[in-house]
Structure formats: structure tokens, C-alpha cells
Amino acid sequence: MTIGVTLLQEGNKTQLAGWFAGSPPSVSFEFFPPKTEAAEQSLWAAITQLAPFSPGFVSVTYGAGGSTRERTHATVQRLLRETPLTPAAHLTCVDASREEVDSVARLYWDAGVRHIVALRGDPVGGGAYMPHPQGYTYASDLVAGLKRIGDFEISVAVFPEKHPESPSFEQDMDVLKAKIDAGATRAISQYFFDIEHFLRLRDRAQAAGITIPIVPGILPIANFAQAEKFSRMCGASVPPWMQALFAGLDAQPQARDLVAAQLAATQCRLLRSEGIEHFHFYTMNRAPLTAAVCHMLGLRSNC
């Protein structure tokens, strides 16, 4: 059943009662490091608003080619210093030597960071990926290198609709298994809008003998036009019913936010009915939408 159909059927009292029964799911949040002082204030306002939901961890992204290295490190350090949250620092191997990557990993370890989101990464400015001549070739190599430095908990990426550069879903599973063999303990998915994509990913992983948790990545839509543009770049499909649902709403932000929160909550509820109990939210450093979704899922602030 698609979310578009389910949104029209939410008046079903039995279905609603089932969705709100039982304990709430666990969550984690992703933030990106700020580029300006105003953006930093916005980021910390978002962290302050979402922290009371007691996320399992919060991740901080790492820009293309390591372009936000210092800002990422500073954000992670501040999270450790000023909050009770558990930070997971993103780390990529693109456009960097092993020595450079290992140096960053050691800094994280020495600072008390024990969770890394290990990614291959994308080149600055886009284009085809080329391994650094003295660097880690792929994410699986990066995972192995991190495990030599410290006993990190390591999360990796997985793609419900196939990695844009992968020739097949089978190749995607082989890549994921290589990362697990190297030491990865969790996979976090690229965001998706049709839950069937994630459920098929889960089925493929189970058929391949993969047993680590595969966590769905959820993107509450703060701007539909931007979401469409980014989706084209990263290979995430946007169903036609979503285009109709959000038509004209970017000019009506309050109505758009109501629709976006309800859509993301419905996505999570349907996934929960399939046994999923952890969700990773791509917050875009905007707390209200994610907070609204968490509330609809039964989570409450611990303040």
C-alpha cells in the first residue's frame, strides 16, 4: 500500500488505534555543520529543541571532499562538551590520503567520539568518483582502517533504490556485505518516499544473509522544490502523488509543514507495522518538522 493511498484512509479508527498502541520507536537525528554565525545559531536551536526526545545518537555530516572537516569536528566537539547527546561523526575517504583520514579519526577517538558514520563520499563539484592515490579506495576500506585505529561503532550507508553508480541491486548487496565484513555494525538508508523501496531493500538484505540493523532514513520535507532537485541528484524517486500533494504549497509554508509532518509520520507508522522500530531523521537543521513527527509517533520531550 502506498502512502498516498494510506493518507486517504487514515480515518479508519482501528488502524489509528494500532498505530498509537505500544511503546514509541527509537530515533536518531542528522545535522550538518554551519557555515555562518546565523546558521550556527539555527543549528543549536534545532539541537536544543530535539535533544529532549532522547535520540540514540545524533550524526554530523561531512561535506563533499571533506570540505566541512573543521566545522564538523567543531560541532562534534561542542556536542560532547555541552550536551548529553551521543555524537556520530561522519567521515569520508574521497579526496584525502589515508594519513589525513586516520588523523581525523584519531582526533575523534581522543576527543571521546566512539561512533563514526563511514562513507565513501562525493567529489567536490560532483563528477565521477576517483579514489585518492594514497587514500582508502572504498567505504569498506575506510571501515577496516577505522577499526585498526579504535573500536568504533561504525554505521554505513545503504540505498533503497540502488546507489546511482551501481550496476545492480546485487552489486549493492555485495558492497554492503564488504562493509559489514570490515566491521560495520549498522546501515542507515538514503531517504525514500515509497516505503516499498525500503521493504524490498530489507528483503534483499535478509536473502543475502545480512543481519545488522538497517535503519530507514526519513526526510521531512521543508521545501518540496529543493527536495525534488536533490532527489534527482541522489537517485531518490519522487512519486507523482507526492507532486500532486505538495503542488503550490512552497508558497504556503504553514500548510506545507502540516502536510510534510503528516506524510513523514505516516511513512514511519507504515514502516512500524512492518516491524521497523528505529528511524533516522534528516533534519536539515530544522527542528519543528522533525519534532512534530516524533510527537505523532508517541515520543515526548523529557524536559
- Residues designated catalytic: 30
Judged by DSSP in three states, 115 sits in strand
* CA–CA gap between residue 62 and residue 29 (Å, rounded): 15
> Under 8 Å CB-to-CB from 102, ≥6 apart: which residues?
145, 149
Query: Would you say 49 and 76 are in contact if contact means Cβ atoms under 8 Å apart?
Result: no
Task: Give the phi and the psi of residue 188 in degrees, each rounded to 5.
Answer: -110, 130
Task: Please report which helix (H) or strand (E) contains residue 156, including its range.
Answer: strand 153-158
Q: Where are the alpha helices (DSSP H) in the chain?
A: 3-7, 13-20, 37-50, 69-82, 98-111, 139-149, 169-182, 195-207, 224-234, 240-246, 253-272, 287-296
* CA–CA gap between residue 197 and residue 186 (Å, rounded): 18
